[in-house]
Structure 1
């Protein structure tokens, strides 16, 4: 049985990793309790009361562990992943997997030298059932050839954020931190191996107390197959009964798909709503029962040294585009 451990409980996405791997049949060995968010560790311990607390050095030294998962502070994820790969383990990291070009190059080198996998779990695709269903519909030709995606990732700022949340070098900027989700989706749904960043911009409109923070960002992408528009922000109102109204529209030559991932405003209850419009008419699909494939596929990849869950080149391209869009972004507001 494939065994895994956790190093880095600084974001709630770590629950998706553990839950997904357990459902896929892996064994949870234990976790390192070091964290910048003690409340997350307490919640994690309550969720997995039988999982032992093990220091990260011991987890890395344990040759029986095949996979290390991390949702550490973003700037620390690449380092943890590299240490794990050099210890003979494959890696699942929360997005963003890297926050600098230097980290990306170091990850590339470690993968090449160790033969291990550095996979980023893009939860807004891999852990969203409507997104999984959309991928299957696209593959079946339900909307013809995909020529554009429009993805938005609004988030609620909330309260009680750790200090690093406001530090630009810690989270990498709003495009690196959040829009990597939508960049991943653009490449995946359009079938693009590579793309170019056409234009990008970021702003800090409402958080002048933290000048290094960014609460808005958008960008345009273009490949030899399609174009894409992405917007991310921290302006979800408190009145919305969800952390964000994440949506994705996939335009094809013979129809389109719209995903209302987390809420259908003033509409149907629950989440994972998919609307398909093509020559056959308009169809609503409840995707709440759709199987999530990523973790099962990743375990198969670990065993067979394949790339069915996600290719390593795809990971690199998402990271490259995110970093380029972030570093070249025009600043359209600085507080106030």
Structure 2
């Protein structure tokens, strides 16, 4: 049996760092330490509560430690590429939170450094990789349960929780904009479920409908995607009301040539309790599938890829293709007016 991989956490600015560390530990890797630099002390406090046994280590020491196999990162989005580049140049593979970058210049540099170093640059798209219903849908699509997927509709509503958001969250230059940020989840799912390597941005829209005091912020966005044999629609927003018992009613609809799949990822409104609901319609009828016991495969596959230099967790280049498309959608988006 091979010894556990060793990894470290650098960039504790977003709460997604909790599952980047926790799921990698659950998948068998050893976290040897973390850099405590953060823009949000509440994230650091939560990290220490969840992982009290982990050691705080100065950032340069983590980069220079040759025994560390990979770095996980959920820093301020604009800072992620520089951390990833330094890690790859230090001989380490990288797993970052989305978005992986905020500009096309950064994407180009990441592509170049990954090619030069041969290191893995992966993005943990949590709305697919940390959602058991998405794991089940991937399995069903691969088995041909709905034929070929020809259209996806992805809905990604989020709760703003404005009182706990750090200052950088409201500046487009630091988080990239709503389509670069949470829109990237839905682009990832479109490419994954339709089996396409890339797509074209047909149209995109952003707006600030509800927060006139932060006029550069965007609280609504939509994208229309098209590939050679499939199309997709994406809607994301920051309007989830406090009455919903979770942070967002995320849904994904897969239209296949022989059936449909609907995912209610986080809640079934006034329906079945819990999360990870999948509704399958095929030639035999309709059924609800409880996916709460479906295993999460991404983290173990990523670790296998680190060992074997393969790409089973994510097709090579996929992470940066998604990032490039999200940034392109952001850059060409028509901005709607708002009513103050």
Are residue 30 (structure 1) and residue 33 (structure 2) matched?
A: yes
- CA shift in 2, pair 1:99/1:335, >3 Å: farther
1:177 deviates by: 0.5
Aligned to 1:259: 263
- CA–CA distance in 1 between the matches of 2:35 and 2:320? 27
Instruction: Find 2:125's aligned residue among 122, 127, 146.
Output: 122
Q: Deviations over 1:243-262 (max 9, x none)?
A: 00000000001110000000
**Contact 2:179–2:330 (CA<8 Å) still a contact in 1?**
yes
Are residue 316 (structure 1) and residue 320 (structure 2) matched?
A: yes
With the length of structure 1 as denominator, give the TM-score of the two structures. 0.99
Instruction: Find 1:39's aligned residue among 22, 42, 51.
Output: 42
1:333 deviates by: 2.2
1:34-183 map, 5 Å: 34-158=37-161, 159-183=163-187
SS in structure 2 at match of 1:333: coil
- CA–CA distance in 1 between the matches of 2:338 and 2:112? 37
Aligned to 1:221: 225
Q: Deviations over 1:111-146 (max 9, x none)?
A: 011111110000000010000100000010100111
SS in structure 1 at match of 2:337: strand
Instruction: Find 1:279's aligned residue among 265, 278, 283.
Output: 283
**Contact 2:100–2:320 (CA<8 Å) still a contact in 1?**
no
Aligned residues: 336
SS in structure 2 at match of 1:119: strand
Aligned to 1:302: 306
Unaligned runs of 5+ in 2: none
Deviating more after overlay: 189-198 vs 326-335 = 326-335
**Contact 1:211–1:334 (CA<8 Å) still a contact in 2?**
no
1:43 deviates by: 1.0
With the length of structure 2 as denominator, give the TM-score of the two structures. 0.98
- CA–CA distance in 2 between the matches of 1:54 and 1:214? 36
Are residue 246 (structure 1) and residue 250 (structure 2) matched?
A: yes
Unaligned runs of 5+ in 1: none
1:224 deviates by: 1.0
SS in structure 1 at match of 2:292: coil
Are residue 7 (structure 1) and residue 14 (structure 2) matched?
A: no
**Contact 2:128–2:135 (CA<8 Å) still a contact in 1?**
yes
- CA–CA distance in 1 between the matches of 2:123 and 2:14? 14
